[in-house]
Amino acid sequence: MNWKALDNISQIGEIVERSKVVPCAIFKHSTSCSISAMAKYRLEDDWDFEPTALEPYLLDLLSHRAISNQLAEVFQVHHESPQVLLIVNGECIFDTSHLDISVSELQEALVVEGKF
């Protein structure tokens, strides 16, 4: 699994466009939170997506809170931490937080969208 760092607000527009080609997952991670660390570990440990099936982005919330706020506005989701957003065709089709974050939940959401 190769995280792409989400560390510039302009990347949100790039993710919107990229998601029209390949689904994108954004993991909003709080580096000071043990639940967030556990959710990140579970994603990394269970990750079995082909590189062309789903692109993973990692947002460090403590360093980039403004980006998190912009994500909430652009994708019309309530901010939570940790949180994962699944972006397909420019829209957030799925979001979940805390211990509900899992590879199987992402797979299920992609199946519903006909993308997996």
Mean pLDDT calculated for residue range 34-50 = 96
pLDDT at 116 over 80: no
Show the domain range for 8: 4-112
- The gap from C-alpha 22 to its chain's centroid, in whole angstroms, comes to 13
Number of folded domains that form the chain: 1
CATH of the domain at 75: 3.40.30.10
Query: Is 36 in a helix, a strand, or coil?
Result: helix
Residue 32 clears pLDDT 80, i.e. is over it:
yes
Q: State the pLDDT at residue 1.
A: 85
How sure is the predictor about 115, in pLDDT bands with cuts at 50, 70 and 90? Answer: confident
Supply 48's token pair.
């079995």
Q: Is the pLDDT of residue 51 over 90?
A: no
